[in-house]
Amino acid sequence: MPYPKTQPLRDRPVDLPRGYGVGDVTGDLSARQMGLQAGGNGLEWGMKILLMSLALGLFFTTHAELPPFVYDEMKRDAEEVVVVQILKAPKADAKLIGKRQQLIYEAKVLRITRSKSRLRPSATITIQSSYYRFGSGEVGPSNPRRLKKNDVVTAYLNKSKKAGEFQIAAGGHSFEKPPAEVGKKKTDVEKPSTKEGSTKVIESGLPKDGATCLFIGHSFFIPVAKSFDQHARLNGFSKHKQLTVFSGGQSGTPGSLWKSKKHSEKIKTILKSGKIQLLGMTVGFNSSFDDYKRWIDFALEHNPKTKFMVGLCWGKGGQSRKAKEFTEANLEAFQTLFEMVTKLRKAFPKNSITLINYGAAACELKVQFEAGKLKGDISKKVDRKSGLFTDNNLGHAGPMIIDLSALIWLKNLYGADFDKLKLTRKYKTDLKVTAAKIAKLNDRFVKK
């Protein structure tokens, strides 16, 4: 979903890839509403264009540096905003004083904030930049940063006509330092989330014997919460208590639940008790940073020690999509959601906010199914009672995906010991091995 240019940066919806709008009707309505909102700010946008034109006119007359707001607009209008690692970089030519040198970088995409051309993590791209070496007495706009091999930067780009080629979109501000990841040292080499990091799984800081939880969401979230509840009780987490509030499709996302009088009042009544230790929420196209922040603010008002969890589900249509594309979309969504959760963590530094990619459970099991490794448990890709998925429409999860997702929650929230863990259903496939693998992938995204 492209962002309206006049929409404030602080209140943009989480820009997830195709297949992450659970329920199409409300998602389309949300998009239309945003378009109307953008149209209503025409005067403000016109003033920005006028000021920008004056600034550019001044630049071409005096060759001076551009004012900061011009760079801000250029970055806002960039078609692609991605974090990349430089694989190849040209050498500098010290002789080109008073001349512009064209620079071509080869880069690997690590994370995606937005992409009009639908770039994906791990893609290799070519970036066209330039550098002007000023002569004596010359002044002018700042140059884009000169990059070296292995540099990791946030790049603001526009697509060129040739496939895989991109041009800088924000002049001297086209390459910037990427936002720091929580728990990541400055000396660490940037890695995409497809790699396993630490062998130790970090938990959320909740009591090891369980907590009083409230989970709010849709049908790609609440069934997992119910399985989590069953497994927690079965495995002796004595302090575990749980409540859920369900609403289908996009109506179950944080933004919609806040706006719904019926559901909002129900959730707020529970939070007002001050007994909730963990509030869990899910994702959707129509929910922004501010939507999550509203719920967090309200919960903290009644219990300042509340901890939070944001869970990423699998994408729509998993029954009909190839495992590779299904998995890539999940990883792309995870990177995008992590950017938003990082902002939340900065806004609430004293409270734990756990991010769990349980959608990876559906991706991993789909890979195993296509490889014929689930024959003892799953014989049909779609079946209401025993399939990997239960329907040919949205692609709701079957029991195996739901239970595997619940095991991941148990590990990342309560630090469950998989060697001792009992399952509510019997499987020939060792789900605990797969759950441990995915829990490690979640490791660097979990905050104590």
Residue 8 has pLDDT above 70, yes or no: no
Please state the rounded mean pLDDT for residues 426-438.
Answer: 92
In this predicted structure, what is the pLDDT of residue 69? 66
260 and 112, same structural domain?
Answer: no
Sign of the torsion angle spanned by Cα atoms 26, 73, 131, 190: negative
Each residue's pLDDT tens digit, 213-240:
999 999 999 999 999 999 999 999 999 9
In this predicted structure, what is the pLDDT of residue 185? 41
CATH number of the domain encompassing residue 97: 2.40.50
Residues 6+ apart with CB under 8 A from 303: 271, 274, 275, 276, 277
433 falls within a domain: yes
126 and 230, same structural domain?
Answer: no
How far is C-alpha 47 from the chain's CA centre?
Answer: 33
Between the alpha carbon of residue 261 and those of residues 11, 29, 251, 266, 316, the distances in Å are: 21, 19, 12, 9, 27
432 and 318, same structural domain?
Answer: yes
225 and 167, same structural domain?
Answer: no
58 falls within a domain: no
Please state the rounded mean pLDDT for residues 308-317.
Answer: 95
In this predicted structure, what is the pLDDT of residue 297? 97
198 falls within a domain: no
Each residue's pLDDT tens digit, 73-91:
788 889 999 999 999 999 8
Average pLDDT of the chain to the nearest whole number? 81
Q: Return the minimum-mean-pLDDT range out of 184-188, 214-218, 272-276, 426-430.
A: 184-188
379 and 290, same structural domain?
Answer: yes
307 and 412, same structural domain?
Answer: yes
220 and 153, same structural domain?
Answer: no
CATH number of the domain encompassing residue 343: 3.40.50
Residue 332 has pLDDT above 70, yes or no: yes
149 and 232, same structural domain?
Answer: no
In this predicted structure, what is the pLDDT of residue 138? 60
42 falls within a domain: no
Out of 161, 178, 195, pick the residue that ends a domain: 178
167 and 247, same structural domain?
Answer: no
200 falls within a domain: no
382 and 299, same structural domain?
Answer: yes
Share of the chain above pLDDT 70, in %: 75
375 falls within a domain: yes
Question: Which region holds residue 6: left if phi is over 0, alpha if psi is between -120 and 50, else beta?
Answer: alpha
Confidence grade of residue 71 (pLDDT, cut at 50, 70, 90): confident
199 falls within a domain: no
Residue 289 sits in which domain range? 212-445
Please state the rounded mean pLDDT for residues 163-181.
Answer: 88
Out of 158, 178, 198, pick the residue that ends a domain: 178
231 falls within a domain: yes
**Structural domains counted in the chain:** 2
In this predicted structure, what is the pLDDT of residue 155? 96
229 and 135, same structural domain?
Answer: no
